[in-house]
Amino acid sequence: MVDVYENIKKGERGAWVSIGAYLALSAFKVVGGTVFASSALLADGFNNMTDIAASAAVLIGLRISRKPPDSDHAYGHLRAETVAALIASFIMAFVGIQVLVEAGRSFFEGEKQIPNIWSAGVAGISAIIMLGVYRYNRNLARRIDNQALMAAAKDNLSDALVSVGAAVGIVGSQFGLPWLDTAAAIAVGLLICRTAWGIFKESTHNLTDGFDESRLSDLRATIASTPGVEGIKDMKARIHGNRVLVDIVIEVDPHISVLEGHRISDRIEERMEKVHDIMSVHIHVEPKGSG
């Protein structure tokens, strides 16, 4: 499990990158929005302050998940990673709904002050920076198989799109097309809500011990093909952070020794680690035909 905790530590770097980027960009946008009289840029800057909370939640979750097993948590604290992703989904949903509400308010607000075109440049630069943060966190999350960091990366992408929407609205206002701002905001708000729902759905599925049936079939096939396994009476699997835990009841020849049954179990564990990178398999051995 040492490499698992080391990967989580790497994931913390991604959370810190997000927090640093949000701190810098929120200040950049608030100052830019004030100087260039852009309410869209100001709103985007205040939105980034909210996102600091989402990244902080991910960081705290990763810190907790790195704690080793103790008397109250025999399987460790890895599920804190999934809880952090769930919290991030709530914050993202709040931001998405806020963007949609603001778009509706802007639609009925009537004529507004036209912001300085330089504010579009601030929004564009911010979007490019946040896209870079998104790519960094996405690639790191894939490499270390970290659900919480992937949620943070999707939040980064949502914020990049909010900045793009702000830039589109600012440019549109320069050419007498204020409706572009509303259209972009609605599209971005719906996309953020859709992303938040996806993270929420996956997190709750894992927290309630849901497991993909097709993946379970692959695991079953690997075990069934192990020499000495006569049958599989029962099999379950669940997600624990970024680890998969498997419980299985196998049938073996009733005439073999206890030692041979133990060797079959060892072979199953070796194959599951080699083929599926699963290092926690609980195996119960029963004689075939025992009912």
Residue 33's CATH number: 1.20.1510.10
- Residue of 14, 161, 3 lying closest to 85 (CA atoms): 14
User: Tokens 């991030």 identify what position?
Assistant: 88
Examine the domain organization and report whether 88 and 196 are in the same domain: yes
Examine the domain organization and report whether 141 and 233 are in the same domain: no
Examine the domain organization and report whether 116 and 55 are in the same domain: yes
Question: What does the pLDDT read at residue 2?
Answer: 44
- What is the CA 23 to chain-centroid distance, rounded? 21
Examine the domain organization and report whether 21 and 160 are in the same domain: yes
Examine the domain organization and report whether 254 and 150 are in the same domain: no
User: Tokens 């929004």 identify what position?
Assistant: 123
How far apart (Å, rounded) are the C-alpha atoms in residues 66 and 68? 6
Examine the domain organization and report whether 63 and 176 are in the same domain: yes
Residue where one domain finishes, among candidates 207, 224, 258: 207
Mean pLDDT in each 10-residue stretch from start to end of the chain (291 residues)? Answer: 71 92 91 81 80 87 85 83 88 85 75 76 92 94 87 89 85 79 78 88 90 91 94 92 89 93 94 89 89 61
The pTM of the full predicted model, rounded to 2 decimals, is 0.78
Residue where one domain finishes, among candidates 207, 224, 244: 207
Examine the domain organization and report whether 167 and 232 are in the same domain: no
Decide: 129 and 25 in contact? Cβ < 8 Å. yes
DSSP code at position 114:
P
Examine the domain organization and report whether 82 and 189 are in the same domain: yes
Count of structural domains within the chain: 2
Residue span of the structural domain in which 67 resides: 2-207
Domain of residue 248, CATH code: 3.30.70.1350
Examine the domain organization and report whether 190 and 281 are in the same domain: no
Question: What does the pLDDT read at residue 124?
Answer: 92
Examine the domain organization and report whether 224 and 101 are in the same domain: no
Residue where one domain finishes, among candidates 183, 207, 231: 207
Examine the domain organization and report whether 38 and 158 are in the same domain: yes
Examine the domain organization and report whether 139 and 239 are in the same domain: no
